[in-house]
């Protein structure tokens, strides 16, 4: 038998608001972590996290409290450690944590699809991403990713994800065959940095505001992925 064909489509998923909602677990974990490390959580209960990296969120919260950026950066890794330590247990008990429509079927289907390489493009630090996806048994399906732990600047992460995918599969994925899927304007902007095809899903906290950012494709959700997303990726619905 010959070698399996190399994938020719790279699909990069955001996590929060795209694949799942983590309920209040992240805010709860972050609030406790920031109090433990810095003595204050900043306006964590009202701050907009949408599309941002975890380090960026912490910097924004504490700068609003008047802490110097240098002070925040000095203890940033300790704060992220404290956050991830709390995140898993809080996710396990949060009744509002759930996968979004269609994701439980879509992710395994893409993982089985030989034409597709699948990865993550998320502001979560890698250990936080793992905690969230492992909660629903999805972490094992993602071979590569770029994370908030790689850089606080979301717009620098797409190139990291593409480079890791190229190394993993030995394939150079052109922008026209690279799909960035997310739920916020910042996801759309990040995809455009590398010229990727942007696919927006109106399932996050920015619901109703995505059309004005003109993503290449916009879906209410991925519940009907076989009829919506699959043809965008492969030109037709799944066989069978």
- Which CATH number among 1.10.3720.10, 3.50.50.60, 1.10.10.10, 1.10.150.240 corresponds to the domain 25-93? 1.10.150.240
Average pLDDT score over residue span 105-118: 98
Average pLDDT score over residue span 84-95: 97
Q: What is the pLDDT of residue 208?
A: 77
**174-189 pLDDT tens trace:** 999 999 999 999 999 9
**Burial classification of residue 225, based on how many CB atoms lie within 10 Å of its CB (0-12 exposed, 13-18 middle, 19 or more buried):** buried
**31 closest CA partner among 52, 15, 47, 16:** 47
CATH 3.40.50.1000 in the chain, residue ranges: 9-21+98-234
Q: What is the pLDDT of residue 34?
A: 98
Query: Thinking of the domain 9-21+98-234, which architecture would CATH place it in?
Result: 3-Layer(aba) Sandwich (3.40)
Average pLDDT score over residue span 7-18: 97
For the full predicted model, state whether its pTM sits above 0.85: yes
CATH 1.10.150.240 in the chain, residue ranges: 25-93
Q: Rounded distance, CA 65 to CA 53, Å? A: 19
């Amino acid at each position: 038998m010959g070698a399996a064909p190399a994938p020719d489509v790279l699909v990069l998923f955001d996590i929060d608001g795209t694949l799942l909602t983590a309920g209040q677990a992240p805010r709860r974990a972050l609030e406790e972590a920031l109090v433990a490390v810095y003595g204050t959580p900043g306006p964590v209960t009202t701050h907009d996290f949408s599309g941002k990296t975890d380090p960026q969120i912490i910097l924004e919260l504490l700068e609003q409290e008047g802490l110097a950026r240098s002070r925040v950066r000095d203890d940033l890794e300790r704060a992220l450690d404290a956050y991830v330590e709390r995140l898993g247990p809080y996710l396990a008990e949060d009744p509002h944590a759930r996968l979004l429509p269609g994701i439980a079927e879509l992710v395994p289907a893409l993982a089985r699809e030989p034409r597709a390489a699948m990865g993550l493009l998320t502001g979560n630090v890698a250990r936080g991403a793992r905690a969230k996806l492992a909660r629903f048994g999805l972490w094992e399906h993602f071979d590569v990713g770029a994370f908030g732990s790689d850089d606080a600047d979301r717009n620098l992460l797409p190139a990291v994800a593409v480079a890791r995918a190229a190394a993993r599969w030995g394939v150079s994925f052109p922008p026209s065959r690279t799909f960035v899927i997310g739920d916020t304007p910042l996801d759309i902007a990040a995809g455009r940095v590398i010229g990727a095809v942007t696919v927006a899903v109106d399932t996050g906290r920015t619901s109703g505001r995505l059309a004005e950012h003109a993503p290449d494709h916009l879906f209410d959700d991925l519940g009907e992925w076989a009829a919506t997303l699959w043809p965008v990726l492969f030109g037709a619905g799944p066989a069978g």
